[in-house]
Structure 1
């Protein structure tokens, strides 16, 4: 089954990152590299990407066949999405185990959500 592991940030977690020394930042990024490597080797990684600042997003709306865009973010929120892992693994427990290895899990900023298998719905 596929699971989306959503990584969030907020002003408080960003402030923590901003206080890190270059060595601490390298160690934090190293945790992502190690997790990527583990998931590639296990065959569980489908995709993983960091996301740019929410201010760079576009809101898209189609009205009367016309596509309209406005500068983002989509909604005013306390926490915003900064990255994700899409994994295919045996169980929700395994997805949670993977999510616990994401550094932001220490701040409670990780969400695990199962993907719906559309083929199973047909």
Structure 2
């Protein structure tokens, strides 16, 4: 099953974990068949939030939420179950400086939509 691990760091710890340390852990995940995808993100100042309300697109500089910890990157993992995903997430190096949110990835429920469109 796939799990998305969202890496959150506060501004003070944004660059605390060297890229090489994260790359080493990714290599470990690759070798064990757990790594699907992952990337670090640029600092929050580069973000733009898009909202559509009443048919109008609204753009905002920065993230939508005002929080102390900001989304810094992600790891997409393939794990046996939630316990395995949590074990792998605990090894993500930035966990020492911030937090890792682990969420299962769900498949879209398209029902008969696909078969209807192919008819």
TM-score, normalised to structure 2's length? 0.78
1:86 is matched with which residue? Answer: 76
1:111 is matched with which residue? Answer: 101
Specify every segment of 5 or more residues in structure 1 that has no aligned partner in the other structure, as ranges.
18-24
1:98 is matched with which residue? Answer: 88
1:58 is matched with which residue? Answer: 48
SS at match of 1:52: coil
**Is 1:31 aligned to 2:31, yes or no?**
no
Rounded Cα–Cα distance in structure 2 between residues aligned with 1:61 and 1:111: 23
Contact 2:69 2:98 in 1 (8 A): no
Corresponding residue pairs, total = 111
Higher helix share: 1
Rounded Cα–Cα distance in structure 1 between residues aligned with 2:105 and 2:39: 17
- Report deviation, 1:50: 0.3
- Report deviation, 1:108: 5.0
Alpha-carbon spacing, 1:63–1:112, altered in 2? closer, same or farther (3 Å): closer
TM-score, normalised to structure 1's length? 0.76
2:13 is matched with which residue? Answer: 13
SS at match of 1:118: coil
Rounded Cα–Cα distance in structure 1 between residues aligned with 2:11 and 2:61: 20
Specify every segment of 5 or more residues in structure 2 that has no aligned partner in the other structure, as ranges.
112-119
SS at match of 1:48: strand
Contact 2:9 2:97 in 1 (8 A): no
Give me the CA root mean square deviation.
2.2
